[in-house]
């Protein structure tokens, strides 16, 4: 096994149990290591610190598998880690019986680069790092043993793999596609899951509890769902008794799926659902010009900043859509606004939204207050030593 020696002082992050080692921390690599191979991490004076996966193509040169220097990184290691992640979720009452569930949340479950989501009897796995890629077979086998699922599909087609020198990989690792459309039930609403072509692993599981919150808030309200994708928030609003739900997205195929999802739920009043295919930024301005107003608006845009380097550009986009949405709210209205950009911290996001509220209320003297801070669902935990895992942040605002 090769040995990775750190520069003096760079062991501090390891001692704080942060799992990433950047290129600037690495003094030298003694021995041969291919991408994904396990290396011993030692301090500048040779003291053993951890065992990590080597990734020479990435700025994150190594991701730590274990802070126990005596723990072997082998098939049994992945079996233990996967089983522990599944057991942690089984111990949380709010996750009991969920048909859509995140089983492994990468670094926060001690498995950097490994995402695994369960939809019924199908697991979708996403491997984003050289280390995870190397242990594909062990990870898949461990998931089968821990879940008893019938099939595993790989969706390792995200751009971040290119930073690791990896090509996209998709396909069945175990089992084969079912003849039936994959459908899950969430909070009493049925939704299709496109594991082959959908966003992420096919569905946004991280917003489960926030969709439930929309259902609680929607009764009697006129609701606007921006960047609606396949209408998860929209259908929950209808289920909650919304007077009308307007769903907007620039993607025609996403809206087609959204309409199919509505048809899967005959208990919902389809006459209360309106669909708009357009650029959200432009349409929000058009709505204001037309004198529209809403009682509840959901802003759940795509990722605007992948890293902190893109935060300034992302801030302008977040501010713009929040200004426009706030101007469309009726007195007493609610705005549920999100950022899933890892490069935008919760503190920065609140500052952006605060600035948007000032601009939106400049002529009307509108006041906006935070009613609730929002985050990912319980199956998306955040390791306290790894704040980078806290990517989804949201605010529920009320205006008057």
Which residue numbers are catalytic? 340
Query: What number of helices (H) and strands (E) belong to the chain?
Result: 10, 20
The pLDDT, as a whole number, for residue 366 is 85
pLDDT at 362: 75
pLDDT higher than 90, residue 314: no
Quote the pLDDT of residue 313. 79
Please count the other Cβ atoms lying within 10 Å of the Cβ belonging to residue 99: 16
Q: What's the pLDDT score for residue 203?
A: 96
Q: Report the topology of domain 188-399.
A: Rossmann fold (3.40.50)
The pLDDT value recorded for residue 195 is 96
Predicted confidence at residue 361, as pLDDT, reads 84
Q: How far apart (Å, rounded) are the C-alpha atoms in residues 399 and 353?
A: 13
- Alpha carbons 366 and 166: distance in angstroms, whole number: 50
Q: What is the pLDDT of residue 302?
A: 86
Output the CA torsion 329→331→334→337 (10° steps): 40
**pLDDT given for residue 306 in this prediction:** 66
- What mean pLDDT do residues 73-85 have? 98
In this prediction, residue 172 carries a pLDDT of 98
Contact 319, 352 (CB under 8 A): yes
CA distances, 66 to each of 4, 74, 130, 233, 311 (Å):
14, 11, 16, 39, 31
CATH for 3-66 (2.30.130.10, 2.60.40.1220, 3.40.50.970, 1.10.3720.10): 2.30.130.10
Distance of CA 97 to the CA centre of its chain: 21
**Is the separation of the CB atoms in 114 and 125 below 8 Å?**
yes
Break the chain into its structural domains and give their ranges. 3-66, 75-174, 188-399
- CA nearest neighbour of 39 among 8, 16, 14, 9: 14
The pLDDT of residue 307 is 65
- What is the pLDDT at residue 344? 87
pLDDT for the residue numbered 364: 72
pLDDT level of residue 305 (50, 70, 90 thresholds): low
Residue in the block written with tokens 């606007």 = 224
Which residues are CB-contacts of 48 (< 8 A; sequence separation ≥ 6)? 40, 41, 42, 69
Tell me the average pLDDT across 336-364: 90
> What pLDDT is stored for residue 308 in this prediction?
66
368-377 confidence digits (pLDDT tens): 999 999 999 9
Task: Provide the whole-model pTM.
Answer: 0.94
The correct answer on CATH 3.30.750.80 for the domain covering 75-174 is yes
Give Cβ neighbours of residue 213 (< 8 Å, ≥ 6 apart).
336, 372, 374, 396
Q: How far apart are alpha carbons 291 and 70 in whole angstroms?
A: 67
Report how far residue 252's alpha carbon sits from residue 276's, in angstroms, rounded to the nearest whole number: 9
| For range 209-226, the mean pLDDT | 98
Q: Residues of the chain with pLDDT > 70: what percent?
A: 98
**154-175 mean pLDDT:** 96
């Amino acid at each position: 096994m090769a040995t990775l020696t750190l520069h003096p002082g760079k062991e501090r992050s390891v001692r704080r149990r942060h799992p990433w080692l950047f290129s600037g921390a690495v003094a030298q690599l003694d021995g041969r290591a291919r991408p994904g191979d396990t290396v011993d991490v030692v301090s500048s004076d040779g003291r053993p610190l951890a065992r990590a996966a080597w990734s020479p193509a990435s700025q994150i040169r190594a991701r730590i598998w274990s802070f126990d220097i005596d723990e072997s990184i082998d098939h049994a290691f992945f079996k233990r880690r996967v089983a522990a992640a599944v057991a942690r979720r089984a111990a949380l009452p709010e996750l009991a019986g969920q048909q859509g569930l995140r089983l492994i949340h990468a670094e926060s479950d001690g498995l950097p680069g490994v995402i695994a989501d369960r939809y019924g009897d199908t697991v979708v796995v996403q491997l984003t790092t050289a280390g995870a890629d190397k242990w594909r077979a062990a990870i898949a086998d461990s998931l089968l043993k821990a879940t008893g699922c019938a099939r595993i599909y790989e969706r390792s087609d995200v751009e971040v793999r290119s930073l690791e020198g990896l090509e996209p990989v998709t396909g069945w690792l175990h089992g084969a596609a079912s003849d039936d459309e994959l459908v899950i039930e969430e909070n009493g609403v049925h939704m299709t899951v496109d594991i082959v072509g959908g966003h992420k692993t096919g569905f946004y599981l991280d917003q489960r509890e926030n969709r439930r919150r929309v259902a609680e808030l929607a009764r009697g309200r006129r609701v606007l769902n921006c960047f609606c994708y396949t209408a998860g928030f929209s259908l929950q609003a209808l289920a909650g008794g919304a007077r009308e739900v307007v769903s907007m997205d620039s993607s025609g195929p996403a809206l087609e799926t959204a309409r199919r999802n509505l048809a899967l739920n005959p208990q919902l009043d389809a006459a209360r659902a309106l669909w708009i295919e357009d650029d959200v930024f432009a349409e929000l301005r058009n709505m204001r010009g037309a004198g529209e107003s809403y009682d509840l608006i959901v802003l759940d845009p795509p990722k605007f900043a992948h890293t902190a380097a893109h935060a300034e550009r992302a801030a302008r986009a977040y501010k713009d859509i929040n200004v426009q949405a706030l101007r469309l709210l009726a007195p007493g209205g609610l705005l549920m606004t999100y950022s899933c950009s890892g490069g935008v911290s919760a503190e920065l996001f609140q500052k952006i939204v605060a600035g948007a509220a000032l601009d939106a209320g400049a002529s009307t003297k509108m006041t906006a207050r935070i009613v609730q801070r929002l985050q990912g669902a319980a199956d998306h935990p955040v390791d306290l030593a790894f704040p980078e895992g806290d990517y989804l942040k949201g605010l529920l605002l009320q205006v008057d």
